[in-house]
Amino acid sequence: MAAGLGVAASASALDIALSRPRVRGSYVILDANLSDLFDDRIRKSLTRGMPATIELHAELWKHRGGWFDHHEQSFVASVRIRYDVWDDIYRVDRPNAPTERFVAIDSLESYLSRPWGVPIARTERLQAGTRYYAVVTGTLRPVTVEDVNEVEGWIGGPGGLGVVTELPKALFDAVRNVAGFGDRRTQAMTGTFIPDTLRRR
């Protein structure tokens, strides 16, 4: 994989910044700001109709003095970006929200650079007086398994059989990386926080 990634190196790097967690409703929320979302290669692939997926994987950890920290729970949020060739617009789908449409890739990037409010825990599950911290991994996937599924959908047609290969994921990743379509990743961690002291908003 390292060799493959080496070929895929480029100047721009996805980055992430995290806020201090806060309480919103019955959840502890973390605001994550993504920057440098689209490098030149991603921009080109998007304008050519290739979809992309951005995923935030948030993990909540409990600090335990003198011992290894404890992984409490995780949350995954993702959005899908597609270019609609017929309408000449970019569509952004995310869960429980209407599809957003953008006419230019810059406005799309500006929209996605807004803070992502990611829940990291239900407040009732956190112990008062205990120290926690969160780790967020941001991943931009130019090509995903779901995308390959769609390609098959064109081949098989509605109701048709799926075409399947059992190519190992590691090999597929290597091919993606060599082709410049490997995942872009970034990671950040909050400072420790005590649930009782979090702002409610």
Partner 1 sequence: MIRPFAPRARILGSVVAAMVLLIGTHLSAQAGRIGLIAHEPPDTLFFTPAGPDSTESDSTRLIWVDEEAVDTGEEDELPLDRWSRPRIPYGDHILRDQGLRIGRRGSMNNIAFLFDYNRVDLFRGGFNFQFDAHDDGSSMPRFGATVEYAFGRTEWLYGLQLEQPLLDDRRLTAGVTMLRRTDHNILQQTSDWENSLALLFARQDYRDYFEREGYGGYLRSRALGFTTVSLHARQDRFRSLPLDTGTDSWFNQDIPLRDNPEIDEGEGHTVALRFQRQSRNPVRTRAGLTHWVEVEKAGGNLGGDFSYTRAFADLRGVLRLSPASEFAVRAIAGSTLDGNLPRQRGFALGGVDGLRAHNTATMKGNQALLLQAEYDLALWSLRRGNFRGGLHALVFVDAGKAWSNAGNGWDVGNQRLAVDGGFGLAGADDGFRVYFAQNLQDPRPDLNVSLRLQRAF
| Of 49 and 160, CB closest to partner 1 | 160
Instruction: For the CB of residue 189, give the shortest distance to partner 1 in the complex, in Å.
Output: 4
Q: Which residue has the tokens 């080109």?
A: 44
Among 80, 126, 132, 193, binds partner 1 (CB under 8 A): 80
Among 104, 106, 187, 196, binds partner 1 (CB under 8 A): 187
Instruction: For the CB of residue 129, give the shortest distance to partner 1 in the complex, in Å.
Output: 21
What distance in Å separates the CA atoms of residue 47 and residue 133, rounded to the nearest whole number? 38
| Of 127 and 149, CB closest to partner 1 | 149
- Residue 52 binding partner 1, by CB under 8 A: no
- Residue 148 binding partner 1, by CB under 8 A: yes
Residue 56 CB coordination number (10 Å): 19
Instruction: For the CB of residue 196, give the shortest distance to partner 1 in the complex, in Å.
Output: 19
Q: CA geometry: angle at 55 spanning 12 and 15, to 5°?
A: 30
Q: Which residue has the tokens 């994550």?
A: 32
Among 115, 130, 178, 180, binds partner 1 (CB under 8 A): 115
Q: For residue 39, what are its two tokens?
A: 């490098």
Q: Which residue has the tokens 């991943």?
A: 139
- Residue 31 binding partner 1, by CB under 8 A: yes
What distance in Å separates the CA atoms of residue 143 and residue 150, rounded to the nearest whole number? 11
